[in-house]
Structure formats: C-alpha cells, structure tokens
Structure 1
C-alpha cells in the first residue's frame, strides 16, 4: 500500500471525496447509475478508512451474503486492483492474516470466515441484511455498502448502525471515523423507496451539516468509459425503462392502477442458509450457488413448477404450505437474447435443485402447453416438459393437462384477496425477494384495464421488442397459474363481496 499512483475522478466521485475530506459529511448516500464509478469510489473509501485508522474494524454491508460473495466482492477486488491493492498481499479474505505477518486488529473477531483482514490490522466484517447475527460482536468504526435499495432499513439499523459505536481517541479527528457510506442504482421496486426518500431527509436543516445525498448517471463518467459506451449500452439495453433507470439514474414512475394492487413490500422475504454461504467464502464457484443456500424450502413437500413459454420462457418455483403459498425462485430464458429455450430452463431448474432429496414436482403451464408439438401426433408441449423432467430423475404430476384458460378477472380477484389477507380463509402469499428479482418488477409494473369480462391484465409489453421481457407479464403469468388452479375453490364467496377496485 506504499506505491503512489495517479487517477482521474469524475465530478460525482470528486464531490464525494470533497464532502468526506473537507465537508464534514459522515452519512452519504450515492444514487448512481451503472457505469458511474460506484465500485471504484467505494473501494477508495475503504482504502482511506484503512489508511486513516490502522487496526480499526468496519462493516462491509450487502443485501444478502450470497450477493456479497457473488457480486460485491468481485467488483470491490477489481476496483482495489486499480488502486494497487491486491488480495493475498495487502489483504486476505476468510482467514487470520496475522499468520502471514499482518498486524492484529484492535478488536479480534471470534471467527475469521466472514472477515477481510488488511495488513495494517484493519478488518471489514461482511454483514448481510438476511442474517440477523452477521453483525454480532462487531464494534465498528465505520460502514460502507452497495446495492442499498435492496436493504431493509429496520434490519440495517439493528444489524449495522447500532454497531457503529467503537471509540478510539486517536481516530476521533479522522474524517471517516463513524462514517456511513451507502451506494446503489435507483430503486426499481417499492422496497427501495426508503433509499430514494433519503434525498429529502438529507436536506432537512438538522441534517445538512453531516448528511449528503448525491445523484449521478453514467454520463458523468464518460472519460473512464469506452468511446460510444452509452450508445452501445442503450442499443443493447433490454428496455428503455431499464436503460433510463439503471444507466441514466432516472427513477421509474410507480404503477398505481396495476393488476396486483394489494402487493406490498411486506409480501417479500429473505431466508438464506448463511452458515453454508459463509463456509464457501474464499472457495466458491458459480455451481456453489444452489438450493443449499435456501432455508425456505420444505424438503418434505413437492415443488411446484409453473412455466409460461414462447420466445421468452419464464418459470416460477413455489410450494403450498399450511396457511401460506410461497414463491421460492424464478428462472427464465430468452431465445432472442441468449438462444436458450425451455429445455435449458428445465436444466437450470434441475441443476439448482439437485441437492434436494425429494425430487417430486407438480407441473403447471399455460394453455399453450396443451397445443400439439406436431400435426398428426398427440404429444403436447406439456408432455415434452414432463418427459424432460422424468429423464432427469424427477417424479412429475402434470396438473395442467387439458385444463381450460383461467379468466383474468377471476385471477385478479383471488390473488388480490390472498395478498390483502383480510380473512384467514385465504393462504398468505410470500415471495423470496432475492431469488425472484425480475418477477417482483414484473408484478409491480403489471398494468390492468377494464375489459368486457371485468379486470384484465395489460399484455402490450410482451409484444414490445424494446422491453426487457423478464420485466413484463411473462413471469407474473407463470406466478398466477398454480395459485389460481390450487385455490380457485375459495373464489366463489369472494366474488360476492369484491368490488373490483384497481387501487386500494
């Protein structure tokens, strides 16, 4: 860490440095689009924390431990390389560096497998929102995190903020002593509203001296990007909405009169097997991220697999549990973008759930599944799926063979009654937030209209080639199919009293 180097900061990055080093700001929120330089500035802040406070302990915060391992750590390590900071030289991950001659930290952790240990004794403890104990034992001198729109603000306070309490007289004049720096692209779902609301919070008179909120898009970082980058990214973007939100940092407008008006953030949950994830820290591959990381599966019950296919194929995995219906995971494949089809979708499902001892699946699909594969044969597309799953060793119960199309209006009434939970008659709907990110966007952005037979789901985006099909109604359709089929017997009493509001 002794080598000097020069690098050029963009205006947004420079603003952060000025506010930290000279502006007295301790709490900073960065709402930056992809390509703006979040990873670099967060790595720079981490390095400055290490330089200012040798031996201090900090929190490295992510939405889930899986995302810390799979997304945040790789980008952080790449950014640190640009600062001439290298793994296994300047820091180690998942082990005690004192055995390599590193200085000991002020506060020695009980375990090292979720620790980034720097040569001067500093440590960053990986803390995730899905693990209430991941911040246990931490006396933090500061905290830094990414993908903050995915955080639960209550868990952030309980798991992280209250640990930012460490005292050391020699650090009290350091600009990053007690700092809280959080970054994210703009919120695509209702969950992230807490983060974007911080913009107004930081403007309050009592907060202006110590709090700062900065918005920026990739346009501010053009000198660090390849020529024609924005034009190329726009051309390759899965949708105009995606490009404007993820790259230009424009907040999407909220769909008010949607098909799922009762869907709220409290329907989303996180339940990961963090002991397993921590055990693979520093020694994992893409194949390591399978159903072993999920705690929400009842291994004694069959899985429900529902598929909506076409040029875009979407699959949703669910389970029927006592008094609740749980959505576990999404899969999707697009023949247009990645040449994957429904067979690849089945392979992805089989590989992810390979560790399960009970390989029983209840298969659901839309009316297209009952169409004949070829003229002159009786084999349907649904039959092909059954055959694929059986060849992979699964016991399959086809629940959609020769079943009629479900009316939109009836699905609308039933699912919203279940979401509303105004009666114990209806099982609660739960959705795994981090395993179903595209489904949630699709559900929250699904529009509704008044049709000749009642409320209908608006499907126009499925025909819009500029739209990211993972964010249209394909995945919500797969979500609907088993719920309606399994619980439609509850519908008759509901229809007698339901007034079909589109906003509630």
Structure 2
C-alpha cells in the first residue's frame, strides 16, 4: 500500500472512534495540502463508500439539514476545516499561514511530507496544542498520538523526525504484534463456530493489554517504493530512475538515508565498515527480567567485540560546548581497528562527567587499563574543566576511578590532507588497520563521520562555531569525527604492545 491509504485509514479510524474530536492536519504549505495530501486521502474515503456532502465535507459549516453534531471545540472559521458526520473535525494547519495552531486543542496530529515541515514552528505551535479532550477520549491508546510520514530527507533541517527511531522499542512492538496475532486467531476460532466459553473474555483481556501497550508505543518504519511495485508498476520505477537525480531517486523512491558523502572527508567509508556484536548468552541468561536487562544495557556486559585481556584505546576531542571520547581496540591478527563505543557530554557536563560515563559503562571489565592517545591540543590549555590541561584532567579522573593509564603522545595535529589520505587508505584496506564501527554503540559518531564534508581542501568544520538548533545538533557535527581521527592515527602510527591479562585459579 502507500502513504495516502495509511493516512486515510488512520484518520477514518480516529474520527469514528472519537466523535466531535479535532485532528490537526499539518502541511508545509496550503497548496501542498490542497493538491497532494488531502485529495489522495479523500479519494480513498470515496472508494470505501464515504461520500462528500453525506459523510464528510470540507471548507464550510455543515448544513443544518444534515443534522450533524457540533464538535466539542467549534472552530471560529470553517474555511480550513474537514467535517465528519459524527461531529469530528480536522483542522488544516498550513505552516505558510502563521498562527494556524495558536489557541487550538487537538486530539491527534497528522503530518505528511514531514521533511518539508518547519520543526521549530511545529514544536512551538502545534505540539503544545495536542492536549485535547482527555475526559472523553482518554481511554483510547491513540488519543494525543501522531502519524508522521515522509520521503527520506536530504538535509539536516528535514531530518527532525528521524530521531523517533530512538524511541521505537522493538521488543514492545514485537509484543504488540504477537498479541494482535493472538487476537486474530481467537476471532477466527469464534467465526468458525468455536463456542468455547472463555474465548470472548480472552478477546477482552487481549484488547485491554494491547491498549495499555499501544498507549506508550512508537512505531518507526522505513519502506522502499519497491514494496508497492504491484500498484506502481515496474515501468514507473524505471522511469523514475531515468528522470530523477541519483540523490532524489535514492531518498524519494528507495527511501534510503544519506550515507557517506561521496566527496566528503571519509569518502572511502562503506556500509561494510559497520558491524554489530552482541553476546546473546548474556542476554538470554536474563530471560524476561526487564529491570535486569535495562541495567545490563548501561554496561559492556553484552558487548562481544571486546578483548577483555587487552587495554582499551581512547582518544578525545575538546570543545567548550561538547566533549567527545571514542574507545576502540586494534585487532592486529585481522588488521582492523574496532571502534567499540563513543561518548559525549554537552554544556555544563565536562570532562569529569565524560570520564565517569566511560568508567561506568566499562566497569564490568576485569582489566581497567587504557591507552590514552593525545596530541598537542591536549597540552597547555583547558576550557572544559579547570586550570589544568586536558591531558592532566583525563589522566587524573581515570586514576580516581581506579583505571591505569598509559599516555601516548602523537605530536602536533596532522595536516588535513595527510590525515585524509591516511584514514581513507585505512578504509580502503591499504593501511595497517582498517576501521570498523560498532553501529549500535556509535549512532552519533557515525552521523558525525558520514556527514563530514570538505571545504577549501580541509575537513569542513565551519558548523562547529554555530549555535545548536534542533535540526543541527552539536553531536552531529565534526567534533566526534575529530576524536575518531586521533584514535585511528594513534592506533595506526603508534601501536602499543598489549600486556596480556592472565586469570588463574586460587592458590
């Protein structure tokens, strides 16, 4: 199916389940709403037998002859209102018209073409208005919910909705899916004449549980247009590939996110340089003890890519507003550098807090030792903590937490061109070590690396000095990639002989 059918079905469900409610239909411009978003939704309504002027209408107050109930919150102006036969209405919020969300009260928010929506106005005007009639509809799990759809964005400004991926609890979604399957199987048994007495009560219990889970669920999915090829047709896909630019075809048709910039600073990096590594024996041993699983997730216990008999290698980047730590380990036998995990702190949290986060995560390791790579930027200055320089603060804080530190000075910062050649030779497999990133443990670092551009022959660091916005967060800028650079240069050019940890029995 396609987006328009999804919007049509969910909004039909909402309006029927919430009589006299108000839904916000958010569009970047009025013209997009009238020529794209709403017509496709109304087309599906008509196919399903819901007729304009009989079951729904738009743009004016319903005639008294229809005898439709009034909405709980009647609009001042009906010009941009979708009306429904049970008194439910839809407020068209076009962002090219200032203030269309002001003083409103919504029960649901529908957003199509989200990559074109202004997030600042959305969070300032529309999200606070999603506060509708709790007394009437508070028992419905989708009340105060949102439906957001979009092509894949090609700019940071349009990427605001992708952060919901972090809120999608895959275990919760899997549980809901299993319960839905159980509900359907039970309904099928009843439809086939099974008169077992407990089946109706089982349906009620399942639906109550589903409602409680759905109330706090966020579902995040990406779909390629190829999924819908039976409707679109192969000829249409071929035409789009011929007519559209590669970037637009990739994001709008295939729904693939922007990967490494082809002309970026890390142009030789490929998707194969990302990996996952989980010790499922540790995870499975905890069964369904969710508190224990949550506690374990804050440590390295389930990380299967750590050589627990070798020290961790760490490197930093220092900035007044954000400070990064990137941890890794060389695997000399396979000629690779595993970037195990990255950490950052912002604003009032400084280097001591960053070190504390690192030590807490890796506390379960039997060997508390690090190889600390640093260059001249760590010496003689410190705008992150106190009068001591960065090197001293980091070493001191690690020792306070009981870690042994082996500092390794790698000299003055490498020139951009030399660094570019060295690291990309590494990604190409032409250096001693090839870098690989543990993807679940480095989400923000990967964004920092993948989007690092080139300006005047150097890494483009111009954004580092700009104020943070919701569309351009500090952690997505090049600071994290600079910490990775230091780690890679240290491990590649200044390898350290590990001291093997040997654990024996008593005696």
Q: Normalising to structure 2: TM-score of the pair?
A: 0.51
Contact 1:316–1:331, Cα closer than 8 Å, also in 2: yes
Matched, 1:320 2:330: yes
Q: 1:175-227 CA distances to partner (integer Å, 9 max, x unpaired)?
A: xxxxxxxx635xxxxxxxxx55x22342345989xxxxxxxxxxxxxxxxxxx
Distance 2:492 2:378 in 1: 21
> Does the Cα contact within 8 Å between 1:414 and 1:488 map onto a contact in 2?
no
Question: For the residues of structure 1 that align with 2:187 and 2:341, how far apart are their CA atoms?
Answer: 41
- Per-residue CA deviation, residues 84-124 of structure 1 (Å, 9 max, x unaligned), is 3179xx99xxxxxxxxxxxxxxxxxxxxxxxxxxxxxxxxx
Deviations 1:300-342 (A, max 9, x none): 111011111222011100111111111000111101xxx3111
Work out the CA distance in 1 between the residues paired with 2:274 and 2:233.
Answer: 31
Report the equivalent of 1:340: 349
Tell me if 1:52 matches 2:54.
Answer: no
Equivalent of 2:412 in 404, 410, 414: 404
Where do residues 3-402 of structure 1 align in structure 2 (5 Å cutoff)? 7-8=17-18, 33=161, 47-54=179-186, 84-85=208-209, 184=220, 195-196=222-223, 198-204=224-230, 255-280=261-286, 281-285=288-292, 286-289=294-297, 290-310=299-319, 311-322=321-332, 323-335=335-347, 339-373=348-382, 379-400=388-409
Partners of 1:486 and 1:471 in 2: CA distance: 24
- What does residue 489 of structure 2 align with? 484
Secondary structure of 2:307's aligned partner: coil
Closer, same or farther in 2 for the Cα pair 1:55/1:206, shift >3 Å?
A: same
> In structure 2, the residue corresponding to 1:383 is in which secondary structure?
helix
Q: Is the 8 A contact 1:408 1:457 kept in 2?
A: yes
For residue 378 of structure 1, report the CA deviation from its aligned partner: 9.2
Distance 1:472 1:479 in 2: 13
Q: CA deviation at 1:369?
A: 1.3
CA distance in 2, matches of 1:38, 1:270: 18
Structure 1 residues 360 and 38 mapped into 2: Cα distance closer, same or farther (>3 Å)? closer
**CA distance change for structure 1 residues 45 and 351 in 2, over 3 Å: closer, same or farther?**
closer
Q: For residues 253 and 476 of structure 1, do their structure 2 counterparts lie closer, same or farther at Cα, with a shift above 3 Å needed?
A: closer
Q: C-alpha root-mean-square deviation of aligned residues, in Å?
A: 4.5
How many residues are aligned here?
302
Q: Deviations over 1:213-263 (max 9, x none)?
A: xxxxxxxxxxxxxxxxxxxxxxxxxxxxxxxx9xxx996697331000011
Do 2:260 and 2:267's aligned partners in 1 also have CA atoms closer than 8 Å? Answer: no
Shift of 1:268: 0.4
Bigger Rg, which one: 2
Distance 1:55 1:429, change over 3 A: farther
Q: Tell me how far apart the structure 2 counterparts of residues 266 and 55 of structure 1 sit (CA, whole Å).
A: 45
Query: Matched residue of 1:355: which SS?
Result: coil
Match of 2:445? 439
| CA distance in structure 1 between the aligned counterparts of 2:413 and 2:403, rounded to whole angstroms | 26
Verify the 8 A CA contact 1:365 1:478 in the aligned structure 2.
no
Quick one: structure 1 residues 391 and 48, their matched pair in 2 at CA, closer, same or farther if it must change by over 3 Å? closer
Q: Give the deviation of 1:360 after TM superposition.
A: 1.0
Go from structure 1 to structure 2 and tell me whether the alpha carbon gap of 1:301 and 1:282 turns closer, same or farther (over 3 Å shift): same
Q: CA deviation at 1:368?
A: 3.0
Instruction: Tell me, in whole angstroms, the C-alpha distance in 1 between the residues paired with 2:392 and 2:301.
Output: 29
Gaps (5+ residues) in structure 1? 23-29, 57-79, 92-145, 148-182, 186-194, 209-244, 491-504
Q: Quick one: distance in 2 between partners of 1:362 and 1:432?
A: 19
Higher relative contact order (CA 8 A, sep 6+): 1
Taking a change above 3 Å as real, the CA distance of residues 387 and 7 of structure 1, as seen in their structure-2 partners, is farther
3-state DSSP class of the match of 2:314?
strand
For residues 381-402 of structure 1, the C-alpha deviation after alignment (integer angstroms, 9 at most, x for no partner) is: 211110110111111011137x
Query: What is the SS of the residue equivalent to 1:292?
Result: coil
> C-alpha distance in 1, partners of 2:363/2:207?
41
In the other structure, the counterpart of 1:106 is: none
Partner SS for 2:208? coil
- SS of the residue 1:85 aligns to: helix
Going from structure 1 to structure 2, the CA distance change for 1:82 and 1:384 (only over 3 Å counts) comes to farther
2:480 to 475, 480, 487: 475
SS of structure 1 residue aligned to 2:475: helix
Report the CA distance shift for 1:415/1:371 in structure 2 as closer, same or farther (over 3 A): same
Counterpart residue number, 1:114: none
**Secondary structure, aligned partner of 2:304:** coil
In structure 2, distance between residues paired with 1:81 and 1:262 = 54
| Maintained 8 Å contact 1:31/1:184 | no
